[in-house]
Amino acid sequence: MIHELLEIGPHVTALPIVHGSGDFAWEVRRLMLKHAFDCVAVPLPASFQSSVESAILKLPVPSVVFQKDLSKYQTDWKPGGSNPDDPESNEDDHTEEIDSGIGASYVPIDPCQGVIAALRTAMGDRIPRRFIDLETSRYRPHSRSLPDAYALKKLPLERFVAAVIPHTDRSTDVQWEERIRYQAWQLRHLSVDFKRILFVTSILDFPWIRQAFHDRELKCPTNQSVTEPESYQMVTDSLYFLLGELPFITGLYENARRELEDDEHLSIDGLKELLIASREDYKTEYKSRARKITPKLLTQCLKYIRNLTLMNKRFTPQLTTIITAAQQVAGDGYALHVLEKAKQYPFTEDLGLPQVRLSIDQAAFPDDEILDVVNRLPGPPVSLSHIELIPRPDEKQKLDWQQNWNPYSQCSWPPEDELIENFRQAVFDRAREVMGADLIHTEKFTTSIKDGIDIRDTVRHWYDGEIYVKVFPPNKGKLDCSVMLFDSPADPREYPWRTTWFAEHKHESTLAFYASDYADQPMGPGICLANYGGALFLFPPVAIPDIWQDSRLDFTTTLEERLLAAACLHSQCPHIALVSPSPPGSAWQQLAKKYQKKWVHLPLSRFSDSTIQQLRMVHVLNGREVRSYAADFIRRV
């Protein structure tokens, strides 16, 4: 049985909803499938019925129905004041004329809009529909912030409504008052012809419509003259401003509808689908240099989203929350793909209608006319938010930047120099620890426990009753060279850029490396991006011949071997730190033996994927003057 709270009259059941919510659209469908109704009433004027129902038949392709304002001037009056259309009103009261400008109101044909879902279901079941709102020449919306609709997953609808009603204030707008009385009047008349009426309305209007329905002195307001509504198709990239849910999640609802799958929890489960789908696009663009978006990283991203959402006092995240979390956890490149994927809608067939571009409170029509617009089914108020994401350049920009590149001037970006030098120092420190570990030994306890009791050796010699202690001798090893192999075995075709860079100051290393071609990835004017495959560091910096032109190294056959041979040739210390995915094989060991050196191997897996991803990127600047604005174009992948 339907709860008595939702009963307006003996023949009228109200379904108070939050407009633009997929959860409430699902609740509308659930209620209509569970109970039998012989009429569905919606809070839209009768002039919209033909256009709206025709547009609903074209779903899942969304569209929008506009009704332009009839006049430029709209006369408003304060509650209790005189009504210029009523000759019996008090002449002593004054009216206030406001130049409100030409505008329009619109109805979004959105699959996740509860009113549209009710009409769509009623049309499918051949249930009569009635549009019972007042005709207004200039519509003024009534909306406010409301509780998150995801609470419906844990609360019955009547409890959700009961919790919200005490916090719904009565509007002081005269048009809103007339609309409330008109809808209540229409419901009274429908009660004569139908026995089970479902009235889908805003949760903000519900208590006042019910109150007016039972008002014995209720009078029906008069409709105003209006223009004929017109249907338009949305420009694809502005669907985000039309749909209540994210376009990607709205598409998931429509796919579930087609496949008869469960869509009860898509408002949250769709977020996981969004992150996974974005990961595939991210891998496709960045290929080998893409950060590994592992299940663990996605879990961290979801936790970040959850925490930010709770801080905003919500259950379901907003787009800005999702993008912020993706950016902080996985970098700008992945966050950009999440943003683009969130705004993609799979059903964009051409309906043969004129196209309109929509933004917040404005619309650009095909005749280049830009009007202020309002939504007749408004959800919670929305506003623009700022996200610092550097957009991807288009092909024309890339071509211009490539053509203006000066091949005789290039330098690095200092923040990346500092990052990789810090990592080089960390490699030296870890390599020294490995070198010292070879000298650790244990001995019997005599007068001092030295560096601590060795439990393993003590237990091993339990039969003689002796205690064994650890001895860590001081580490006197030195390192002046390290080799980092990020991609091994390396394909020479992927790493055509091979060069040697010399230090600009005493805190930088002499650097020799092989990398991808920076000219293929322009990031800004005078800024290109390459990806390290392997690098050799000599610190303190020394002047050496370019290792890629040095004839003494021509005996090597691979890129890795040339780096390793150069390290052995120019290092002044017997040990060389080697960071690589796998330990050095016999060929590399023979190479070190030839120069009387020894590798100190550190597995690449010891370091986090995010750290390695950042290290592998090298931005090449076309001159030192580019450093002054490079940060405006460089983003973290």
For 177-236, the three-class secondary structure string (H helix, E strand, C coil) is HHHHHHHHHHHHHHHHHCCCEEEEEECCCHHHHHHHHCCCCCCCCCCCCCCCCEEEEECH
Q: Facing residues of 498 across strands?
A: 514
Q: What is the model's pLDDT at position 86? A: 46
CA distances from 163 to 14, 195, 349 (A): 16, 29, 41
Q: What is the model's pLDDT at position 83? A: 43
Q: What is the model's pLDDT at position 38? A: 92
Per-residue DSSP letters for 278-310?
HHHHHHHHHGGGS----HHHHHHHHHHHHHHHH
- Percent of the chain at pLDDT > 70 equals 92
Q: What is the model's pLDDT at position 94? A: 38
Q: Which of 238-247, 287-296, 533-542, 584-593 has the lowest mean pLDDT?
A: 287-296
Cα distance between residue 15 and residue 157, in whole Å = 9
Once rounded to an integer, what is the mean pLDDT over residues 291-306? 90
Residue 74: pLDDT band (50, 70, 90) is very low
Once rounded to an integer, what is the mean pLDDT over residues 95-101? 41
Q: What is the pLDDT of residues 466-485, one digit of tens each?
A: 888 877 666 556 888 999 99
State yes or no: pLDDT of 382 exceeds 70: yes
Residue 521: pLDDT band (50, 70, 90) is confident
Q: What is the model's pLDDT at position 636? A: 57
State yes or no: pLDDT of 135 exceeds 80: yes
Q: What is the model's pLDDT at position 440? A: 65
Q: What is the model's pLDDT at position 475? A: 58
CA distances from 153 to 159, 160, 167, 268 (A): 12, 10, 21, 11
Once rounded to an integer, what is the mean pLDDT over residues 520-531? 88
State yes or no: pLDDT of 98 exceeds 60: no
Burial class (CB in 10 A: 0-12, 13-18, 19+), 264: middle
The 7-9 sheet, strands edge to edge: 7-9, 12-17, 197-202, 39-45, 129-133
Q: Which of 22-36, 183-197, 221-235, 461-475 has the lowest mean pLDDT?
A: 461-475
State yes or no: pLDDT of 79 exceeds 70: no
For the entire predicted model, the pTM comes to 0.76
Once rounded to an integer, what is the mean pLDDT over residues 517-539? 90
Those residues with Cβ within 8 angstroms of residue 92's Cβ, 6 or more apart along the chain or in another chain: 82
State yes or no: pLDDT of 173 exceeds 50: yes
State yes or no: pLDDT of 443 exceeds 50: yes
Q: What is the model's pLDDT at position 555? A: 92
Q: What is the model's pLDDT at position 302? A: 94
- Percent of the chain at pLDDT > 90 equals 44
Give the mean pLDDT of the chain: 86
State yes or no: pLDDT of 90 exceeds 80: no
Q: What is the pLDDT of residues 574-633, one digit of tens each?
A: 889 999 998 899 999 999 999 999 898 999 888 887 788 788 888 999 988 988 888 888
Q: What is the model's pLDDT at position 612? A: 84
State yes or no: pLDDT of 122 exceeds 90: yes
Once rounded to an integer, what is the mean pLDDT over residues 329-340? 89
Cα distance between residue 205 and residue 133, in whole Å = 12
State yes or no: pLDDT of 39 exceeds 90: yes
Residue 198: pLDDT band (50, 70, 90) is very high
Residue 89: pLDDT band (50, 70, 90) is very low
Q: What is the model's pLDDT at position 37? A: 93
Q: What is the model's pLDDT at position 367? A: 87
Q: What is the pLDDT of residues 394-404, one digit of tens each?
A: 888 888 888 88
Per-residue DSSP letters for 69-132?
-S-SEEEE--TTS--TT-TTS-TTS--EEEE--SEEEEEEE-TT-HHHHHHHHHHHTT--EEEE
Is-contact 560 488, C-beta < 8 A? yes
Q: What is the model's pLDDT at position 186? A: 93
Residue ranges of alpha helices (H) inside 514-608 are 559-570, 586-594
Burial class (CB in 10 A: 0-12, 13-18, 19+), 448: exposed
Q: Which of 231-235, 448-452, 486-490, 545-549 has the lowest mean pLDDT?
A: 448-452
Once rounded to an integer, what is the mean pLDDT over residues 117-146? 91
| Cβ density class 471-505: b for 16+ within 10 Å, e for less | eeeeeeeebbbbbbbbbeebeeebbebbebbebee
